[in-house]
Amino acid sequence: MPRWRIPTCASAALAAAGLLLSGCANPSVGSANDDPTKPVTLKFWHGWATPGEVKAVNDSIDRFEKLHPNIKVKATGNVSDETINQALRAGGDKAPDVVSSFTTNNVGQYCDSGMWANLDPFMKKTGLDKKKTFPKTLLDYTSYRGSQCALPLLADAYGMYYNKDAYKEAGIERPPRTMSEFKKVAEKLTVRSGKDSYKRVGFMPNFRFYQNSPDRLFAQWGPQYFDAKGDARLADEPKTYKFFKTADQLADAQGGYDDLERFRLTFGDEMSSQNAFLTGKVAMHLDGEWRGLMLDDAKAKFDWGVAPLPVPDDQADTYGRGFITGTVAGIAHSSKHQNAAWELVRFLTADTDQVVKFANAIHNVPSTFAALKSPKLDADPTFRTFFDILRNKHSKALPPSVNGGAYVVSLQDFSYSVEAGRVGDLRKGLKKLDDQIDADTLQSKS
């Protein structure tokens, strides 16, 4: 189960504890003066909820407690970012010591607000070299303006699943590597059914389709969302125009947005047995590493493979890149046991054996250089394709912002209008989008 699908509702236990507060309170001040060798109980809040994932988390805690018998960890799962943030604003003894989040978009808020402690002093004190431990892309999305307030706790990489049987039927020898190849292959794989419907499309480019959020596709161009001052610059980014043009061309090559959108509305739920890729309605599909395990569990009736998503023709040397995101972990600013909390964070994020076991257990991409090279990792070649995407120096994550993921939602809404042909002047529309993002950023600072 991909982690972004975890429910965002708070548990009844947290509500009963009086931690679902509205507005901002005066948080208690934490402390890094504790002795991590003394007996202590840490509260760890995380978002994993399915039985297999919760078991993997609890197994991780058991391993940690064996190494640190003086530290007990009380874990609470299925906790949303909203609940964590409310608890950290309130502070007090009921707030967590260690926190994790599936939403890298919010790291800018965590760091800028100081709700998550800067981890650089802890790394310096214990000799952890973050640049030698974690890939740069992961460090980028766990920090903001010099504050490393989080560390990566497994990653998600996005690639392209493709139907090998459909390729063979269409006489296609290998996955496309550039966008021009992508359009040709998508058109060749598309099979019509009547005048305005399909038996199968090569690639569904519409942004509302499953994982096709525009920011994930846009990553193949390597865009710069913000300037040095933090102001949105999508209207001044030449790659933005190339991205929308390519998306439009992909749609046109397969019959146009309207026909594709009607076909998309016939698809089953993404996480069900009626998934459009699983049922053969889509031959190429953008998705994360978890999909392979789900295809195996569903006993897909066709042969399938994984490759990186194609890149723009003028950036052919970046082929192998992809969109990167993942879970992050940090220390609550209000914790009075920050040195002990650091021991848990360091174990979960940087202990090679732990990272490998956790990655294998929940089928996510390991987040350290050492774990990526471990012979104990799942040897499935389709799974390992995502390791290469993560390691690719051109792979991109969304840049942190103090407005959290608001700018991503704004981009999504704008992109829906663009693909439907409701934006007459793209540059003018992008200028308004930049203004909206900047206004949201300013409001988040007030």
Which domains are assigned to the chain? 3-156+324-391 (3.40.190.10), 159-318 (3.40.190.10)
Q: How many CB atoms lie within 10 A of CB 169?
A: 14
In the predicted model, residues of the chain with pLDDT beneath 50 are 1, 3-27
Confidence at residue 259, expressed as pLDDT on a 0 to 100 scale: 96
Residue 11 pLDDT:
39
- pLDDT at residue 293 in the model: 87
**Residue 334 exposed, middle or buried by CB count within 10 Å (0-12, 13-18, 19+):** buried
In SS3 terms, 340-401 reads as HHHHHHHHHHHCHHHHHHHHHHHCCECCCHHHHCCCCCCCCHHHHHHHHHHHCCCCECCCCC
- Give the global pTM: 0.88
The per-residue pLDDT for 92 is: 82
Bridge partners for 329 per DSSP: 100, 151
Q: How many CB atoms lie within 10 A of CB 1?
A: 16
End-to-end CA distance of the chain: 37
Q: Is 123 helix (H, G, I), strand (E, B) or coil?
A: helix
CA quadruple 100, 101, 107, 113: dihedral sign = negative
Beta strands of 250-321 (E only): which ranges? Answer: 282-288, 304-307
Longest dimension (CA), the chain: 73
- What pLDDT digit, counting tens, does each position of 383-400 carry? 899 999 999 999 999 998
CB-based contact 415:214 (threshold 8 Å): yes
The span from the CA of 68 to the CA of 73, in Å, is 10
> What pLDDT shows up at residue 405?
84
- Provide the pLDDT for residue 31: 83
The model's pLDDT over 295-344, given as tens digits with 9 standing for 90+, comes to: 999 999 999 999 999 999 999 999 999 999 999 999 999 999 999 999 99
Residue 134: closest CA among 443, 370, 427: 370
Percent of the chain having pLDDT more than 70?
A: 93
Output phi, psi for 293, to 5 deg: -65, -40
Q: What is the pLDDT of residue 94?
A: 87
Residue 446's pLDDT is what?
67
Q: Is 107 helix (H, G, I), strand (E, B) or coil?
A: helix
Cβ neighbours of 421 (radius 10 Å)? 11
